[in-house]
Amino acid sequence: MSLDAILARIDAELETSLDRLMTFLRIPSISTDPAYKADCQSAADWLVAELASLGVEAEARPTPGHPMVVGHVGEGSPHVLFYGHYDVQPVDPLNLWNTPPFEPVIQDTPNGKVIRGRGTADDKGQLMTFVEACRAWKAVTGEWPCRVTFLFEGEEETGSPSLIPFLEANKEELSQPDIALICDTSRFDKDTPAIVTSLRGLVGEGIVITGPDRDLHSGYYGGAAINPARVLARIIAALHDDEGRVTVPGFYDGVPELTDEIRAQWDALGFDAEDFLAAVGLSVPAGETGRSVLEQVWSRPTCEVNGMSSGYTGDGFKTVLPSQASAKISFRLVGTQDPLAIRESFRKMVTEMLPADCKVAFHDHSASPASVMSTKNPVFEAARTALSDEWPREAAFIGGGGSIPIAGHFKEILGLDSMLIGFGLDDDALHSPNEKYDLESFHKGTRSWARVLDAISR
């Protein structure tokens, strides 16, 4: 059977695959710092050369920022678009790294061998699991399992400013695939692979409430003058009821309930809510009453205060009545919640709560809907079965508490559903010093993609 031979090839060539990954990791492709612009170009060029060595027609296409790497190869169905990003986060603070961030090493740890260095888990190591699976497939069979389009981005860590214009300009070319594959997520735990089938959307709002035209002496004006800090506190307190539900009018429009099938998969994961909270010094779930912790972080919408500021906050004490009070508030969205409708409703609620002599200014920071993938597409179950064959425990369809905008962009612009399969772990230290990627994540991740490609191509 070809799959057995492909898996054997991946095992036999692991050291060579790691050498290629190490070369890739040594390129300091920090997208946010202009000083590394040439390195980002080098990373893109390196990927083009790697793809070309596999017979892929690939090129690094210019954007106003860093290049997009695009490649096409193979024939038949399905036609998949594989996405990853080659840019990485800055390494500061450098003094907290135990090894140089761009001199990757393999280390022994109590939990097994890890690949240590910037970009190992986010996203170079993940990206290369797919490339190496394709390399083994081509070496064993002499052909490709299906038609593949590669899209590698160089600005994901800076908010992808060039991505939407690029997708729109190349819509005809990039909308031809049947489904997008994204490798920028994690397993549920060390033994349990996962396919993320829902990602929460995000609305970010900054509000500034102004009362008096300057800060006031609280002895002269306290009691008589409106205090914006008190007004802001009252508004924030009113955003949730005693059951933890968000009170913004219309907020829950479009929020679905879990299906029995997905609930059963989540129950089977053996998630320990007490351990989850204890790891950050907490003990009691604070979200909606009657909802499990997994529901709260994967399938329920939220409203959270991310920051507040007002008056004197320096050392010592200053008896001031502040002129302004500000807050940053974010909403995580699920299902078909409309981010623009929620923004409008929130602003209306805040405005109606303002007392006399106060005014409010709003500053929008983001507005993206949730991404929900239909698991009715047979490739999802085929991929879940394939992953289950590789790992100790059965794969599950899970939710993602955060937001991965690329999945939404693929749906909105290209009309493509996305299948998010990643092999990271929660302790990989993404964006932090001493980032790592388990050697098992890389090895079995590569084997997993070979299995998935085999399953969906059949």
**Cβ proximity of 24 and 117 under 8 Å:** no
Q: Residue 38's pLDDT is what? A: 98
8 A C-beta contact, residue 372 and residue 196: no
Percentage of the chain exceeding pLDDT 90: 94
Identify the CATH number of the domain in which residue 321 sits. 3.30.70.360
Give the amino acid at 101: P
**Any domain includes 434:** yes
User: Domain end: 320, 336, 368, which one?
Assistant: 368
- Report yes or no on 278 lying in a domain: no
Whether 231 and 87 share a structural domain: no
Specify if 80 maps to a domain: yes
* Same domain? 357 vs 436: no
Q: Based on the domain organization, do 86 and 161 belong to the same domain?
A: yes
Q: Which pLDDT does position 346 carry in this prediction?
A: 98
Among residues 122, 187, 198, the alpha carbon closest in space to that of 153 is found at 122
pLDDT at 42 over 70: yes
Q: What is the CATH number of the domain that holds 417?
A: 3.40.630.10
Q: Are 207 and 350 in contact (CB under 8 A)?
A: yes
Q: Is residue 225 part of a domain?
A: yes
Q: Both 27 and 145 in a single domain?
A: yes
Determine the number of helices (DSSP H) and then strands (DSSP E) in the chain. Answer: 15, 18
In which band, very low, low, confident or very high, does the pLDDT at 366 lie, cut at 50, 70 and 90?
A: confident
Q: Which domain holds residue 344?
A: 201-255+301-368
How far, in Å, are 52, 274, 409 from residue 59 at the CA level?
9, 49, 22
Confidence of residue 404 (pLDDT cuts 50, 70, 90): confident
Query: Which of 224, 208, 117, 133 has its CA nearest to residue 452?
Result: 133
Averaged pLDDT for residues 134-139: 98
Which sign does the torsion angle of CA 22, 26, 27, 28 carry? Answer: positive
In a domain, 279, yes or no: no
Structure tokens at 240: 């949730």
250 burial (CB, 10 Å; 0-12 / 13-18 / 19+) is: middle
The reported pTM is 0.86
3-state SS class at 276: helix
Is 60 buried (19+), middle (13-18) or exposed (0-12) by CB count in 10 A?
buried
Same domain flag for 116 and 189:
yes
- Same domain, yes or no: 251 and 182: no
What does 199-263 look like in DSSP terms, one character per residue? E-EEEEEEEEEE-SSS-EEHHHHTTTS--HHHHHHHHHHTTB-TTS-B-STTTTTTPPPPPHHHH
Q: Residues 93, 227: one domain?
A: no
Whether cis (ω within 30° of 0) applies to the bond prior to 378 is no
Alpha-carbon dihedral of residues 363, 204, 170, 50, nearest 10 degrees?
Answer: 120
The answer to whether residue 296 is domain-embedded is: no
The C-alpha atoms of residue 397 and residue 384 are separated, in whole angstroms, by 8
On whether the CB atoms of residues 133 and 126 are closer than 8 A, the answer is no
Residues 181 and 325 in one domain: no
Looking at 322, 353, 368, which one is the last position of a domain? 368
CA angle at 431 for the pair 428 and 433, rounded to the nearest 5° = 75
Q: Is the pLDDT of residue 1 over 70?
A: no
Same domain, 416 and 314: no
pLDDT band of residue 401 (cuts 50, 70, 90) is: confident
221 lies in a domain?
yes
Q: Tokens representing 445? A: 């991740």
Residue 111: is its pLDDT beyond 90? yes
**Which pLDDT score is estimated for 311?**
95
Over residues 176-209, the pLDDT tens digits come to 999 999 999 999 999 999 999 999 999 999 999 9
Burial class for 272, CB neighbours closer than 10 Å (0-12, 13-18, 19+): exposed
Provide the pLDDT confidence category of residue 408 given band limits of 50, 70 and 90.
confident
294 in a structural domain: no
Mean pLDDT across 324-343: 96
Write out the H or E segment, with its range, that includes residue 306. Answer: strand 302-310
Nearest-angstrom CA–CA distance, 177 and 181: 10
Tell me how many domains the chain contains: 2
Q: How confident is the model at residue 300 (pLDDT cuts 50, 70, 90)?
A: very high
Predicted local confidence at residue 368, as pLDDT = 86
Give burial (CB, 10 Å; 0-12/13-18/19+) of 181.
Answer: buried
Q: Which residues pair with 82 in a beta bridge?
A: 150, 181
| 194 and 207 both lie in a single domain | no
Closest CA to 302 of 287, 314, 323: 287
Q: Are 147 and 50 in contact (CB under 8 A)?
A: no
Both 378 and 405 in one domain: the answer is yes
